[in-house]
Structure 1
Amino acid sequence: MRFLTLTMAALAATLMLAGCGGTSTRELISNPDLLYERAKRAADAGNYRDAIFFYEQLEARFPFSNAARQGQLDLMHAYYRNREPESAIDQADQFIRENPTHPRIDYAYYIKGLVTFERNPNFLERWFNADLSERPPIDALESFQAFQTLVQRFPESEYAGDARQRMIFLRNRLANYEVHVAEYYLKRGAYVGAINRAKYAIENYDGAPQIRRALEVMAQAYTELGMPELAEDTRRVLRANYGSPDTLDAAERPEKKAWWKFW
């Protein structure tokens, strides 16, 4: 069965290559530049399925050529445009791992961040008024880390500006989740856990709107633990940055609940 599968795959590849008008199959499969040109032409025409095929052939047949290296970058973009997010991420990770000093490695980080950014289920918030801050933001964290690496290592990259803008949104989502967990611990009397989660949000997502609430949670948790000095220190930071230490009003921290909510 495995032999039959491999044979069929080889036959399909041969037929695909044979269908390239103006260039013989033998010439195409023996020249990495021609394969790259054929792949790029397909991608430019929006035919990402064919582009992926030719980029994969290029990488398989000429793995050490300059054309193949450029093709690896183009392939991750083709996967992304062809709605194959896992393949795009795998390709980006492979390129980063195998080409740590490549001059265009910033693009690999950008594609990885972009793909995981677009996997965030924002449509649930828009259509069902759902508060997703209560769900572990795994994709948001992965996207944030990819963009963070990009802007820290390559601040002058042409992709850094867009990455920074997306990081603001991701930072806020991640901070929302950490503060939600801190509030959960606070309500259940797990004050040390509440302090740790609030402190993590403050240290890692500075500037997010929910940092004010994180400080409030910390102050209350310290009070409940019988640590008035630490509670007052926290309130002092709260007053210095936000004025009144009172809790947020309803306009600043709206309650979102949906009848269908199941988490």
Structure 2
Amino acid sequence: MRPLKLLVTLVLFSLLSACSWFGGDEKVAPDVPEQQLYDEALSALEADNYELAVEKLQLLEARYPFGRYSEQAQLELIYAYFRNYEPESASAAADRFIRLHPNHDNIDYAYYLKGLTAFEQDRSFLEKYLPIDVSQRDPGAALESFESFSTLLNRYPDSEYAPDAQKRMQYLKNRLAAHEIHVAAYYMKREAWVAAANRGRYVVENLQETPAVPDALAIMAEAYTELGMHDLANNSREVLQLNYPEYEVRPFKQRSATLLQTATFGLLGGEPPAEPARPVPLADRQRADAQSRASDEKAEQEERSWFSRMTFGVFDDEEESAPAE
């Protein structure tokens, strides 16, 4: 019995000291000076090594919470999280900085980074390269980004980040309006007239100057007609015709299936409901403007007289200065 107790005691001592066999007795690295940690973090940021930058900035904030670089390190940490594709951490770090330093000189930068983080979070990788309809996606991140940029513009209109934030807000505004119309069109197909009319009215009242406004007015006119509110329907229709005379009005509600449509499982014999407008990307708008300018220049060249073309424009000035008969 006694040898057994001795054996158990030896085993326990062996287990307790096992950590020392695998390097558990290694010495803890000494504290790195604050200046050195900050310089190493900046060097990592300049080298695009954002993972290392996050590590250094976290260590700097933990060891020197009241140091001379503490506040700046918190700002740099937001940016490092953003560039390291950690949107949740970046947003949390921005909220923490805004809460702890509401009167900081660079508080506008924190709002801008928070909005930019949500903006990039809303845009998927495939959306940048494929024509994906973003109006069908949850607009939570887009709404958060819009609110951050809006706070930045309202509180700090002279900020150097305000112009870029304003451009991004216009895109987000189109994105949110398109989503509202997508939901309204869904309600129209399900004959939920009140819900559809409310969505359209929200777009008209809060998201003006977006491509979705004519769709919103058309939905309001059609929904109010179905509800028997003819005065509101006529008002919506008049506003639509006055401001968008070229808009092609098509019904958004789901029409009753015809016999041919039923026999062909909806492939033939029916006109599909109207589709809501979608936000046009900036690159597509610039490309369309360039094509329009090129077409105008070509048309102007074709309108030149035969004499001007034959003489390669040499006598254009004389021809313009000649008095009309």
Distance 1:253 1:173, change over 3 A: closer
Give the deviation of 1:72 after TM superposition: 0.5
What does the per-residue CA deviation read over 1:187-224, in whole Å, with 9 as the maximum and x for residues that have no partner?
22211111111122222221110111011101111111
Alpha-carbon separation, structure 2, partners of 1:129 and 1:190: 30
Distance 1:248 1:67, change over 3 A: farther
Query: In structure 1, what residue type is equivalent to 2:224?
Result: Y
- Residue of structure 1 in register with 2:102 after alignment: 100
Alpha-carbon separation, structure 1, partners of 2:193 and 2:48: 55
Query: In structure 2, what residue type is equivalent to 1:145?
Result: E
Give the deviation of 1:66 after TM superposition: 3.9
Higher relative contact order (CA 8 A, sep 6+): 1
Whether the 8 Å CA contact 1:36–1:58 is kept in 2: the answer is yes
- Residue of structure 2 in register with 1:42 after alignment: 44
Q: In the alignment, which of 209, 226, 231 is matched to residue 228 of structure 2?
A: 226
Q: In the alignment, which of 140, 143, 150 is matched to residue 141 of structure 1?
A: 143
Whether the 8 Å CA contact 2:74–2:97 is kept in 1: the answer is yes
The SS at the match of 1:79 is helix
State which drifts further: 40-49 or 124-133.
Answer: 124-133
State which drifts further: 37-46 or 244-253.
Answer: 244-253
Give the deviation of 1:123 after TM superposition: 4.3
Query: Given the two structures, how large is their TM-score scaled by the length of structure 2?
Result: 0.65
Distance 1:174 1:95, change over 3 A: same
Alpha-carbon separation, structure 1, partners of 2:99 and 2:202: 29
Q: Percent identity?
A: 48
- Residue of structure 1 in register with 2:179 after alignment: 177
Distance 1:142 1:236, change over 3 A: same
The SS at the match of 2:173 is helix
- Residue of structure 2 in register with 1:82 after alignment: 84
- Where do 5+ consecutive residues of structure 1 fail to align? 16-24, 255-263
- Residue of structure 1 in register with 2:120 after alignment: 118
Hey, which of these two has a bigger chunk of helix by percent? 1
- Residue of structure 2 in register with 1:216 after alignment: 218
- Residue of structure 1 in register with 2:255 after alignment: none
Alpha-carbon separation, structure 2, partners of 1:253 and 1:141: 19
Once the two structures are superposed, the pairs formed by residues 43-62 of structure 1 within 5 Å of their partners are: 43-62=45-64
Whether the 8 Å CA contact 2:37–2:57 is kept in 1: the answer is yes
Give the aligned length.
233
Query: Given the two structures, how large is their TM-score scaled by the length of structure 1?
Result: 0.79
What does the per-residue CA deviation read over 1:130-150, in whole Å, with 9 as the maximum and x for residues that have no partner?
323122211111111111111
- Where do 5+ consecutive residues of structure 2 fail to align? 1-18, 252-273, 279-325
Query: In structure 2, what residue type is equivalent to 1:144?
Result: F
Whether the 8 Å CA contact 2:54–2:80 is kept in 1: the answer is yes
The SS at the match of 1:136 is coil
Alpha-carbon RMSD across the aligned residues, in angstroms, is 2.7
